[in-house]
Amino acid sequence: MSRKVGAAYTKNGTSRFSVWSPFAEKVELITKQPPRNLPLEKDPEGYWKGEFKELTPGTLYKFKLDEEDEFPDPASLAQPEGVHSWSKLEDTSFEWEDFDWKGRDLDEMVIYELHVGTFTPQGTFEAIIERLDHFKELGVNTIELMPISQFPGSRNWGYDGVYPFASQDSYGGIEGLKKLVNACHQNDIAIILDVVYNHLGPEGNYLSQYGPYFTDKYHTPWGSAVNFDDEYSDQVRRHFIDSALMWLEEFHFDGLRLDAIHEIIDRGARHFLQQLSEETDALEQKTGKRYVLIAESDLNDTRLVKDYQIGGYGLEGQWVDDFHHSLHTVLTSEDAGYYKDYGKMEYLAKAFRQAFVYDGKYSEFRKRTVGNSPEGLDPHKFVVSIQNHDQVGNRLLGERIASLVSFEKTKLAAGVMLASPFVPMLFMGEEFGETNPFRYFVSHGDKELVKAVQEGRKREFEYFNHAEGDFPDPQAEKTFEESKLNWNFRKDPSKNAIFEFYKEMLRLRKDGAFDLFRTSEVKVKSDEAKKVLEVSAAEGNETLYGHFNFSDKEIFNPVSVEGAAIIIASSDKKYGGKETAETLIQDGSLKIPAGSFVIYRT
């Protein structure tokens, strides 16, 4: 196996095992049935290894350290009995049918973030396959799975995962996951995986029992930081990089979304992210496929996506919170917590033009200067959204945008994102105005931990008193069930209208209708009093205009009727509105109804 750790069943019938435990004096491989204690040999780097012909796929095993404690494999591929129990030796062979698939560049992607457990009633990898036609009709060409590494119980967002190499058993494990990836590629859909390398969850995390995987040099919101630059960090870095490369090479994922990289603390000369990016580039050369690495970061630091040659980490893209916050606050007038740094039309205009609002600008909320300038970077380096798991699920009641603003403003929000020059990302259900909440949920087995999570979540809403109501218990199954999508949207005229609107916006985007907004010559203006955003860009004799009205009053703008052609109007009757092109352009003026937008060209 190319991985330095874990278990692998080879084609010649040999099973190989490797675990890193540099301070142990003795490590044995133990099996459940029949009970065996098999010795492992230590190499100079602290890896304990062994090869055995008598062990076959399905064998349940643990490692025994210094003839005392027994723990699951920290690089386990499968935990069928849960995070505290036996690891399983897997035969990972699979009949792939995607050999012609070469990946997809980030600038071509329309991303759809989903949570496996709540996306379908079944909550499995294979159930997603049944919805691939939905993505194709919609115009989405890339799906992004929230984390799937094995976590405690069967209900979790995935950020409490404790086995970075194992795919969640209750979702369908290795077989179900590979079937999903294979089917995506056969349907011309790329698939990205959200991975968490800044921490491990609190329940079932046995890494510290094996060696110095964590360091007290730094602390994160989850405790001691993962050891990326302290003593013995070479092997720790290898552990997580091998996890990343495994998902790309062995599971055929097209890229990774890297969770909260501002908590990956590495002060070495070659940052972990740069090493990961360089080794991913090498994998591209090996496989002939394209892979994308997308960072989630609240630092607004362009170093993440700049080339190695100029001191960057070489990642393909990064999430942009500023775009979401600017749009959300203008729509809702919310100003609690970090939202106090936004809420102005000029900030939304700045976000539309260059993604970052805080580009070396002082933040009142953080009480410091934040970010640097993105000038000169291609727009496709930035992934934007109007909803995602964080911004919905970290609300008190988990309300989606369709529950917070009017029907028309729901379309307005989508219009700003989909017409923007950046890579758009939808959150599951937003394409039909889902109103079911998406809430934070867990199914921990440790009662004290459950209590700590419940109390911790309540404290988190010190700043964000978004809504009144009973606090949803994260441990309750009801909280999870209420977060599932309602797929009967076709029966609701309003929801179906939103779906048709998203389809048309994505079709127009694919056909290049908004490409002029991607040019460096784009002009973006805002009017704070009128709550209007105006975007324009010209090339040759053609000019593209976008007028976005965030007010509760209709407005009129002068327009040359001769040669003016409306590309899309969110208030059109086709999308549940009350207007037509004929009613919007009259007597030399363009009407933009309250909470709507019009994009046209002359």
DSSP secondary structure of 33-75: TTTEEEE-EE-TTSEEEEEESS--TT-EEEEEETTTEEE--TT
Per DSSP, the three-state class of 308 is helix
Q: How many residues does the chain have?
A: 602
Q: Which helix (H) or strand (E) holds 258?
A: strand 255-258
Catalytic residues: 259, 296
Decide if 284 contacts 249 (C-beta within 8 A). Answer: no
Decide if 495 contacts 432 (C-beta within 8 A). Answer: yes
CA distances for 65 relative to 23, 46, 564, 599, angstroms: 10, 13, 75, 66
Both structure tokens of 489: 């949207």
Q: Tell me the CA end-to-end span of the chain in Å, nearest whole number.
A: 60
Looking at the DSSP bridge assignments, the partners of residue 163 are: 150
Cα 330 to chain centroid, rounded: 24
Looking at the DSSP bridge assignments, the partners of residue 523 are: 536
Question: Which letter, b or e, does each residue of 99-122 get, where b requires 16 or more Cβ atoms within 10 Å of its Cβ?
Answer: eebebbebeebbbbbbbbbbbbee
DSSP state of 572: B
Report which residue type is found at 98. Answer: D
Per DSSP, the three-state class of 161 is coil
Both structure tokens of 132: 């691939």
Per DSSP, the three-state class of 532 is strand
C-alpha radius of gyration, the chain, whole number = 25
- Count of H helices and E strands in the chain? 16, 31
